[in-house]
Each structure stands twice: as C-alpha cells, then as structure tokens.
Amino acid sequence: MSTLKEKFKAKADEQAARVRKLMQEYGHTKIGEITLSQVYQGMRGVIGLVTETSLLDPNEGIRFRGYSIPQLRKQLPKAPGGHEPLPEGLFYLMLLGELPTEQDVIDMSNAWGRRSHVPNHVFDAIDALPLSTHPMTMFTIGIMAMQTESRFAKAYASGKIGKADYWDYTFEDAMNLIARLPRIAAYIYRRKYKGGDNIQPDHSLDWAANFAHMLGYDDESFYELMRLYMTIHADHEGGNVSAHTVHLVGSALSDPYLAFSAGMNGLAGPLHGLANQEVIKWIKNMQQELGGGLPGKEQIAAFVHKTLSEGKVIPGYGHAVLRQTDPRFLAQMDFAKKHLPDDELVNLVWRIYEVVPPILQELGKVKNPWPNVDAHSGALLEHYGLVEYEFYTVLFGVSRSLGVLASLCWDRALGLPIERPKSVTTEWLEQFVKGQ
C-alpha cells in the first residue's frame, strides 16, 4: 500500500502531464480580458492563478475538489458517534483530489500526532512578547520562530536538491506545520487568557478535538463545532488575501513556514480573517448601546445605519466574489439550530441576518449584501465559553493552513514559477487610452 506522499507524487505526475498538454495545445488561447477599472479595483474577476484545491462559485459558494459544504458534511468520514466531517479528510481530499476512507483519515490523524512536537524555543519566543500582544501577532511570531525546523530551507541551503525535489520537502514541512499549529495556537490562548495553565495534547483524539482539548474545552459538542469550523474555514480558492499571499511568497521558494506566516499576516486584516472578531465586537457594542438582550429589528436597523453613517463597514457582510449567503454561514446556522437553538447571541445573529441585507442593498454600491462566514462563527464560540474574541482569527488561521499548504504542495509539484505580474503607472494608462 502506498503512503500518502507516494500517492500525492503519483497524482502530481499525472496532473503535471495534463498541464503540459494543455499548455502545449492551448497555451495561446485567450481566457479573458482586463479593463482599466479592474487594474485599479483589486483585480476583481481577473483570472491569474491556478489553485487546484477549491473553486468558488459566486452563487453556489465554495466547492472543495468539486464537493460543496453540504456534500462534505455528509460524505467525509466522522469521529465515532460524531456527525461533523473530520478536517483530516478534507486535507486528504484537497491534496489528492479524492475522498478518503475512514482508515485514510485515521492514518492522517496519527501522522499529525507523530509530527506535532513543537520545540521549546518557539514557546520562548511567544513568552518574550507582552501579554497585550494580539494573538495573531503571537501566532505569526510562533510560526516564524519554528522556521528553524524547515526541511525545505535546510535541504535548499545544503545545495543538494534540485527543482524536481522541492515538492518532497514542501510536503514534509506542510505536514509538520499542520500538525504543530494547534499546539502553538492553544499555547497562545492559555498563556494570554488562562494564566499560562497549559494543557498537554491527547493524541487519542482527532486533530480538531485535540485542539479543542488543548484550548480547555472538553465537551463533545464543542469538539463537533471545532471539526466543522476547521473544515469550513480551510480554503476559499486562491485569490483571497491569505491564500494568495502564501502562494506568492512560496513562489520565491521561501519555505512553507515563511510563506504561511506571511499569509497569516494577511488573514489578520479586518477586511479578511479579523472580521470574525470585528463581528462579535460590533454585536457587543450594539447590545451595550441598546441595553442588552435581544434587540428588536427596528433597533438593529438604527444601529446598522449609525455604523454606516460613521463611514464603517458592517462586519461579516459582503464578499469580493460571493453573491449569495455564504454556505459556510448556513452550515454554522444549521449547527446552531441543532445544538443551541435558544442561545440569545445566536438568535441575534439570525435577526441581524434579516435586517442587514436590505439596508446594504439600498446603498446601491455593495455588490453582495449577504453574510459571509465571519457573521456567525463568534456567536457559536461564545456559547461554549470561548469569549476572548481577539483569539478568533487564530482559529481561522489554524484551519486555513489545510487549504493553503495543500496548495503549496501542488505549486511545487507542478513546478510553478516565481509570481511576477506586470504593474503600470497612471501615466502609462493615460498614454495607453490616448493611443486607442
């Protein structure tokens, strides 16, 4: 029976041949046009990247290797007695392009357990930071400190490897990083919020449940939430800030630790992953201003208008690609209906969902008035007592490692080159349009 790495190599060789054929036969075929506005407006809609792990449809939402979130919730292997997919299975799917068996998922869990040792100097680096440091800053510094362990960087520095070997060392680094991130994240959480009272890993648990355990939440339904959370936040095709950054930095042959840490700095921005903390902060402010509890729709509408009049965005709403309610929002709503239908904060999230879209629509400029993944996640975490919202983006980051690192393996396996799009000046564009 072949190992995961051997299976990946076989798939990668097949795919590389497919890409070579496509390039040979259709390398000059035009697949799009670019307008001047797109150049100024964040390259929205410009096809410029290949990401094999997932594809985002504006109306249907994300599909991982062709599977939607509802399909994955049904078809990926579960923990014994569990109902939510195990993220190990999603990683397997994104890496190999095929659904795993129960045994494949158990093997992945065990492999990550064996690879999960974090050297002490990583904890020392985190300990050197003041407690007031944002958890995302601690997280990226922890990852950077762990770059000493990069097999890719060591092998490259030795001068003994060539381009055909890069995928192998990238694969090793990706597996090790994924295995170790929950330990680093949990360490940050326990240090910042629980007086440094760390909890040792329990490798009899799956990856997400062990993470929940190390955070200090040993409740079967919280384990289920973590399995779902880690699955739905894992990937959102390649153009979003975190995925694109990992790909871009990795294209310079910066090792997976450097590339992933760079991506996490992008995830830490309020228009991207930090939105999950911003949502809960905004809802708490709303509750405080409106006297607590579950405000009525008119009160919520007034608060929304006030936020907009202050020149701020409504966090958790809108998307650069999606044009419908995010299926990741709906998956969390479904989880909440099953596990915590009477939770007040969750009910407030649902009421906000009724109020915000028509208001954003009325503005006339917002392309997507519907909620994204971040509109819901904080309320679920709060329910279980994980109330320290500055930590929420770290959870997102641990999950995001699955998609972006599977993609990085593919980047090196396909031998993708350094990324270097062309930029121009406004003067260049003025001259160009004059010549039209």
Give the interface with ligand AMX as residue ranges (CB under 6 A): 240, 271-273, 275, 313-320, 360, 365-368, 372-374
CB of 270 to ligand AMX, least distance (A): 7
Q: How many helices (H) and strands (E) does the chain have?
A: 20, 3
CB of 412 to ligand AMX, least distance (A): 25
Nearer to ligand AMX among residue 129 and residue 313 (C-beta): 313
State yes or no: is 272 an active-site residue: yes
How far, CA to CA in Å, does 308 sit from each of 71, 296, 305, 313? 37, 19, 5, 6
Decide: residue 414, CB within 10 A, 0-12 exposed, 13-18 middle, 19+ buried: middle
Nearer to ligand AMX among residue 270 and residue 415 (C-beta): 270
- Name the 3-class secondary structure at 70: helix
Tell me the H-state helices in 146-268: 151-158, 166-193, 207-215, 220-232, 241-251, 256-267
CB of 272 to ligand AMX, least distance (A): 4
CA 147-150-152 angle, to 5 degrees, is: 135
User: What's the rounded Cα separation, in Å, for the pair 356 and 314?
Assistant: 8
Nearer to ligand AMX among residue 329 and residue 410 (C-beta): 329
CB of 321 to ligand AMX, least distance (A): 8
CB of 44 to ligand AMX, least distance (A): 6
Nearer to ligand AMX among residue 65 and residue 319 (C-beta): 319
> Are 272 and 266 in contact, with CB atoms under 8 Å apart?
yes
State the DSSP code for 390.
G
Determine how many CB atoms are found less than 10 A away from the CB of residue 357: 18
**244, 247, 272, 376: which one is catalytic?**
272
Q: Which residue type occupies 386?
A: L
State yes or no: is 374 an active-site residue: yes
Nearer to ligand AMX among residue 183 and residue 233 (C-beta): 233
User: What's the rounded Cα separation, in Å, for the pair 63 and 57?
Assistant: 8
Please list, in sequence order, all residues whose beta carbon lies within 8 angstroms of the beta carbon of residue 416, skipping any fewer than 6 positions away: 50, 251
Sheet (strand 67-68) strand order: 54-57, 61-64, 67-68
CB of 275 to ligand AMX, least distance (A): 3
Please give the torsion angle defined by the CA atoms of residues 79, 83, 88 and 91, in that order, rounded to the nearest 10 degrees: 160
**233, 247, 319, 376: which one is catalytic?**
319
**104, 255, 326, 374: which one is catalytic?**
374
Instruction: Report, as residue numbers or ranges, the catalytic residues.
Output: 272, 319, 374
